[in-house]
């Protein structure tokens, strides 16, 4: 297994030299670094591609599918097609480079016979395909749909499915810019990383790995209830809660049942703690005036910090005001119950104390997710710890560790990209890649 992983890393490194996908030392698309083994050797996938496609999107997904032995054929609107690449700059992602690829065949020569899936990458490719080859592209998609082919599209790709009239009654996702197109075509739009609904898979940028995984899973396990070992593991409720938890920064104007808050706190107390000291102390605040007072104190304290960085105070207030719409704030303190006799160990015991309270906070966040509540860990409020302690009448020996905003989400943000295990995990000793 490790040898296979090593060979793939070498292979991908070669691909990166030939097709430079990375734009900086930080890869901004999804790449878990996990060992993922599928056998797609009996499947052919037809890519419908137009000009100005998203180069990284196509090449990363294509590389994964071909690594799993699928035969991927590009049918292009032209023989030579141009894709754009994104570069990480101080302003964010910018389209600064273009790269050409050669299609395997022209759209006019394409046929769905012998294929098991159609793939539509994003960028401006879907729009250009429809504008210049509407009848041809729509026919290929419609014929594929009638034959039961898997129709897969990512980012702006679902736009072409909508224009071909095949998404009516299906739940779909994709770039927010095409939300109206999908709903007007009879689809139900949801904000998700990836959605599989019957023979249609739609995904969001830049979750290339999740999209490729969904395509592989559906091709290999088309029947309801059948999944690979990986899919079975990831569908476990506890693991899903870990992966799907998000930091929510806008909340509904809706009260939370006190019973649910009590359950969150109760789950927090089941966290491990050093010496079973259980040093966590929770102060639950619902009062709007109290929260408003804390918000004003915080905004005033941070004013100079943000102004030095050229960020207007109004912008910061607008950002943080969403957090303060949460109906419940849980102020999490630590309080040791005994005097430490050995001063030599006082520093490490302080760290143990922080770890124990952090464990309790994570329990609360995960419990909130399982109860359909949203939450956000707000560490920034610690800059006004003394003011908060005074407002809440906390004792001198209590240390504020975190503030957790809890309520019903008014948004469903997509996850931030995680670093690959190749960057963060090692075998046996530091530096030996996992």
Tens digits of per-residue pLDDT, 49-104?
A: 999 999 999 999 999 999 999 999 999 999 999 999 988 777 778 888 899 999 99
Q: What is the pLDDT of residue 64?
A: 96
Instruction: Give the model's pLDDT for residue 347.
Output: 79
Between the CA of residue 178 and those of 97, 160, 169, 196, what are the distances in Å? Answer: 24, 10, 17, 18
Q: What is the mean pLDDT of the chain?
A: 89
Between residues 2 and 343, the one the model is more confident about: 343
Q: For 164-206, how does the pLDDT look when each residue is reduced to its tens digit (9 = 90+)?
A: 999 999 999 999 999 999 999 999 999 999 999 999 999 999 9
272 vs 232, higher pLDDT: 272
Q: Which CATH number fits domain 19-244: 3.40.50.880, 3.30.390.30, 2.30.30.90, 3.40.50.2000?
A: 3.40.50.880
Across the range 116-127, mean pLDDT stands at 97
> Residue 303 pLDDT > 90, yes or no?
no
HSE (side-chain half, CA atoms, 13 Å) at 157: 30
Domain ranges (residues) in the chain: 19-244, 258-407
% of the chain surpassing 90 pLDDT: 71
Question: What pLDDT sits at residue 10?
Answer: 31
Does 258-407 carry CATH code 3.30.465.10?
no
**Can you read off the two tokens belonging to residue 359?**
């464990």
pLDDT tens across 216-269, in order? 999 999 987 677 888 888 889 999 999 999 999 999 999 999 999 999 999 999
Average pLDDT over residues 202-211: 96
**Bridging pattern class, strands 200-203 and 194-197:** antiparallel
- Judge if the upstream peptide bond of residue 206 is cis by omega within 30 degrees of 0: yes
């Amino acid at each position: 297994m490790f040898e296979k992983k090593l060979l793939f890393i070498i292979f991908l490194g070669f691909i990166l030299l030939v097709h430079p996908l990375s734009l900086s030392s930080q890869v901004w698309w999804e790449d878990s670094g996990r060992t993922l083994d599928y056998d797609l050797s009996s499947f052919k996938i037809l890519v419908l591609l137009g000009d100005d496609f998203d180069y990284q999107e196509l090449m990363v997904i294509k590389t994964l599918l071909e690594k799993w032995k699928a035969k991927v054929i590009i049918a292009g609107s032209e023989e030579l097609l141009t894709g754009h690449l994104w570069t990480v700059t101080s302003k964010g992602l910018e389209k600064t480079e273009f790269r050409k690829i050669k299609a395997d065949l022209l759209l006019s020569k394409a046929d769905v016979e012998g294929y098991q899936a159609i793939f539509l990458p994003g960028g401006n490719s879907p729009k250009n395909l429809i504008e210049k080859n509407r009848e041809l592209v729509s026919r290929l998609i419609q014929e594929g749909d009638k034959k039961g082919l898997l129709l897969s599209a990512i980012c702006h790709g679902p736009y072409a499915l909508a224009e071909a009239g095949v998404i009516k009654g299906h739940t779909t996702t994709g770039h927010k810019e095409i939300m109206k197109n999908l709903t007007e075509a009879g689809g139900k739009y949801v904000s998700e990383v990836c959605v599989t609904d019957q023979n249609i898979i739609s995904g969001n940028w830049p979750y290339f790995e999740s999209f490729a995984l969904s395509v592989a899973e559906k091709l290999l396990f088309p029947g309801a209830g059948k999944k690979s070992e990986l899919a079975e593991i990831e569908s476990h409720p506890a693991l899903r809660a870990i992966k799907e938890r998000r930091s929510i920064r806008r909340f509904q104007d809706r009260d939370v049942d006190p019973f649910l808050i009590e359950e969150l706190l109760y789950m927090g107390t089941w966290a491990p703690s050093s010496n079973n000291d259980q040093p966590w102390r929770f102060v639950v605040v619902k009062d709007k005036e109290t929260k408003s007072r804390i918000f004003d104190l915080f905004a005033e304290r941070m004013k100079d910090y943000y102004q030095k960085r050229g960020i207007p105070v109004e912008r910061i207030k607008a950002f943080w005001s969403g957090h303060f719409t949460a109906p419940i704030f849980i102020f999490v303190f630590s309080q040791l119950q005994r005097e430490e006799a050995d001063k030599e160990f006082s520093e490490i015991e302080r760290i143990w104390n922080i770890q124990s309270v952090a464990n309790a906070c994570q329990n609360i966040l995960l419990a909130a997710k399982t109860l359909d509540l949203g939450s956000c860990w707000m560490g920034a409020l610690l800059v006004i710890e003394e003011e908060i302690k005074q407002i809440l009448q906390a004792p001198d020996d209590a240390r504020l560790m975190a503030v957790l905003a809890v309520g019903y989400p008014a948004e469903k943000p997509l996850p931030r990209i995680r670093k690959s295990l190749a960057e963060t995990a090692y075998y046996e000793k530091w530096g030996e890649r996992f």
